[in-house]
């Protein structure tokens, strides 16, 4: 039943093409999804700009929502129906490696080795007009949630994972360094965990948005010495938890200094380039600082993010910068790499 589909692909440096492909047949337990919204994440932007090398053409798109267009054999008709509106989890995990077996699917050894189906392109593959997925990767969304919002389930899930690693408690002080989309997600989530939220961000518009989304205090680290400022707000102790959502390596030692005794520091963002930076082992020892990182959501985090959006607990609308039609994918990619832009979405 091969169906002709269109895919948005990176075909060269800063060049997007729309290619015609044919889907393979549905396997047992799979459904065909008509994609309605796909967001352009940092990964897609880095491939577009040649910072992440992939064999070209390749198709990005791992932040996706759409509706069920066809049910494969063996799909439970009591649970799933044509027309169901869904957020789609496109992150791959093998299910067989040590990390998958021990419930840490986000650290799967084969996470970046998703098998490529016959006729399709390498890459997460959500930037197509139709995609094939297993029902375990579908999360229903109600009419009250737009496809654009639902496409942002994955970035929210990333931050759910990060916030859980901080083990936040009521009344604690949390510092979030950076007010980009991921920093703003951290703000909303930390507030809902009952914390006092301080945001360090140089851009005035982002500080304003952070306050609108619930941050208690925002400051410009170029105007206030960040460590002194955070200590001044915490009786000289430092915060219980510090999240670095920037990809500036020199911020890491600063984050450790901002944490009080027994505090945690979570390195959320990836580093490109990854410049080694000196930290004080004595500080970790003497203050019992927990220093850790957070990478990708696991399947449970995706489920939680879907509920937070569906129940209206977290509103993703302020984080959507602009939407472009499928045919204007080149323009969408160009818009997505303008510094300071939140999520750009391709609609279909």
Q: Which chain residues interact with Zn ion by CB under 5 A?
A: 41, 93-94, 97, 100, 108
Nearest approach in angstroms of CB 184 to Zn ion is 14
Residue nearer to Zn ion on the CB measure, 3 or 94: 94
Q: Least separation, in Å, of the C-beta of 95 and Zn ion?
A: 6
Q: Cα–Cα distance between 232 and 217 in angstroms, integer?
A: 12
Residue 175 or 181 with smaller CB distance to Zn ion: 181
> Is residue 283 packed enough to be buried (19+ CB in 10 Å), middle (13-18) or exposed (0-12)?
middle
Residue closer to Zn ion by CB (options 46, 231) is: 46
CB of 41 vs Zn ion, minimal distance in Å: 3
Residues counted in the chain:
348
Given the complex with Zn ion, which of 134 and 216 has the nearer CB atom?
A: 134
Q: Are 284 and 291 in contact (CB under 8 A)?
A: yes
Tokens representing 331 are: 């323009």
Tokens standing for 5?
Answer: 């589909």
Strand (E) or helix (H) holding 154: helix 153-166
3-state SS, 244-312, equals ECCCCCCHHHHHHHHEEEEEEEEECCCCCCCCCCCCCHHHHHHHCCEEEECCCCCHHHHHHHHHHHHCC
* 40 vs 256, beta carbon nearer Zn ion: 40
Nearest distance from C-beta of residue 265 to Zn ion, angstroms: 23
Distance CA 139, CA 145 (A): 12
Shortest approach of Zn ion to residue 185 CB, angstroms? 11
At its nearest, how many Å lie between Zn ion and the CB of residue 58?
16
CA dihedral 83, 89, 92, 98 (to 10 degrees): -120
**Distance in angstroms (rounded) separating the CA atoms of residues 48 and 183:** 23
- Name the minimum Å distance from CB 234 to Zn ion: 32
Among residues 97 and 140, whose Cβ is nearest to Zn ion? Answer: 97
Minimum CB distance to Zn ion smaller for 44 or for 172: 44
- In whole angstroms, give the CA distance from residue 309 to residue 84: 17
């Amino acid at each position: 039943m091969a169906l002709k589909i269109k895919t948005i692909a990176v075909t060269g440096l800063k060049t997007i093409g729309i290619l015609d492909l044919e889907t393979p047949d549905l396997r047992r337990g799979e459904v065909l999804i008509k994609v309605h919204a796909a967001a352009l994440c940092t990964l897609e932007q880095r491939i577009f700009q040649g910072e992440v090398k992939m064999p070209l053409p390749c198709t990005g798109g791992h932040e996706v929502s759409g509706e069920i267009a066809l049910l494969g054999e063996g799909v439970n008709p009591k649970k799933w129906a044509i027309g169901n509106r869904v957020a789609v989890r496109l992150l791959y995990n093998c299910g067989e490696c040590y990390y998958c077996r021990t419930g840490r699917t986000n650290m799967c050894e084969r996470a970046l080795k998703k098998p490529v189906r016959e006729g399709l392109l390498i890459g997460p593959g959500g930037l197509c007009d139709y995609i094939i997925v297993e029902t375990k990767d579908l999360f229903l969304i109600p009419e009250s949630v737009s496809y654009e919002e639902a496409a942002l389930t994955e970035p929210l899930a990333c931050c759910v994972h990060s916030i859980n690693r901080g083990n936040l408690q009521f009344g604690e002080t949390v510092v979030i360094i950076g007010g980009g989309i991921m920093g703003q997600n951290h703000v909303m989530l930390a507030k809902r965990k009952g914390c006092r939220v301080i945001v360090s961000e140089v851009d005035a518009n982002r500080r304003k948005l952070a306050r609108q989304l619930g941050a208690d205090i925002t400051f410009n680290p170029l105007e206030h010495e960040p460590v002194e400022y955070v200590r001044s707000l915490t009786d000289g102790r430092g915060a219980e938890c510090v999240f670095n959502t920037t990809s500036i390596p020199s911020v890491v030692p600063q984050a450790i200094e901002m944490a009080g005794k027994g505090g945690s520091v979570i390195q959320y963002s990836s580093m490109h380039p990854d410049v080694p930076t000196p930290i004080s082992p004595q500080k970790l020892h003497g203050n019992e600082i927990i220093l850790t990182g957070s990478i990708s959501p696991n399947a449970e985090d995706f489920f939680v993010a879907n509920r937070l959006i569906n129940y209206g607990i977290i509103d993703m609308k302020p984080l959507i910068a602009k939407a472009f039609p499928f045919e204007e994918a080149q323009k969408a990619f160009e818009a997505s790499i303008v510094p300071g832009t939140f999520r750009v979405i391709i609609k279909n």
